[in-house]
Amino acid sequence: MNVDVQKKVKIIQKSMDSIRKMDKTVHTISFSRLANEIEMPLSELTDIFLDVEDMFLNEQKRVIKKMMELIEKGLKDCNTPNDAKELLESITIRLIELLPDYSDLVYSAIFYLPKCLEERERAKKYYRQALRKIIKKGWPGKIESVLDRQTDLVLFSFYGYMEYIVRANKSERKEIQKDYINMINLHLQDRLFF
């Protein structure tokens, strides 16, 4: 692991622990107070992150980047409907594995931090087109209007799934994932009417 990456990880982990202990909302946290709390010179902290928002954006982008890599590799290797179904299942499992202990903090912040909102919208566009490809390959024979509607519903459900699992304890996440995949499979079986 690169030394800078190690330092970033340490800063993020200590900062998230500190934010949780301070019981403050993200917009009320000063970077200088955070530097004191994690016992690091402010200048060293600002060499890595400009502000608290950048820290949250970094974590959001980290998860999205890894998800996109998995999806792109999976789409390249996707030759049969079963491959596509397995890809959809594997991305929901991988999401659980990627989420850090403090994912509830990160997820709650992305709804009102401007840079995080922009990243969320960018990711949402990507997920929509990727899910459409997965659905088209995994559940073939859908007319375009049904494919579009089901893609939107799966995207909406995917964001709901994300929101739920970041707040669930780790032992519950795999059970939630199984229920989610069963629900999506039932939803996507209908080629024409749903």
Cα 157 off chain centre by: 13
Euclidean distance between CA atoms 162 and 183, whole angstroms: 15
Euclidean distance between CA atoms 31 and 47, whole angstroms: 12
For residues 50, 34, 11, 104, the Cα torsion angle rounded to the nearest 10 degrees is: -100
Q: Which residue, among 115, 110, 126, has the nearest Cα to 162 in the 3D structure? A: 110
pLDDT of 194 above 60? no
The reply to whether 1-49 and 53-189 are identical in fold is: no
Domain ranges of the chain: 1-49, 53-189
What single-letter amino acid sits at 20?
R
pLDDT at 193 (0 to 100)? 52
Q: What is the rounded average pLDDT of the residues 82-92?
A: 96
Q: What is the rounded average pLDDT of the residues 17-23?
A: 77
Residue 101's CB is within 10 A of a number of other CB atoms, namely 11
pLDDT at 191 (0 to 100)? 60
pLDDT at 67 (0 to 100)? 96
pLDDT of 9 above 90? no
pTM tops 0.85, yes or no: yes
What are 113-154's pLDDT values in tens digits? 899 999 999 999 999 999 999 999 999 988 999 999 999 999
Which is higher by pLDDT, 192 or 161?
161
What are 96-111's pLDDT values in tens digits? 999 988 888 888 888 8
What single-letter amino acid sits at 2?
N
pLDDT at 10 (0 to 100)? 82
Could you identify the residue written with the tokens 């079986």? Answer: 189
Which is higher by pLDDT, 87 or 4?
87
DSSP 24-62: --GGG--HHHHHHHTT--HHHHHHH-SSHHHHHHHHHHH
pLDDT of 2 above 70? no
pLDDT at 159 (0 to 100)? 93
3-state secondary structure of 18: helix
Domain range 53-189, CATH architecture: Orthogonal Bundle (1.10)
Burial label for 113, CB within 10 Å (0-12, 13-18, 19+), is buried
Please, which residues have CB within 8 angstroms of residue 73's CB and are 6 or more apart in sequence? none
pLDDT at 18 (0 to 100)? 80
pLDDT of 186 above 50? yes
1-49: CATH class: mainly alpha
Dihedrals φ, ψ of 148, to 5°?
A: -65, -45
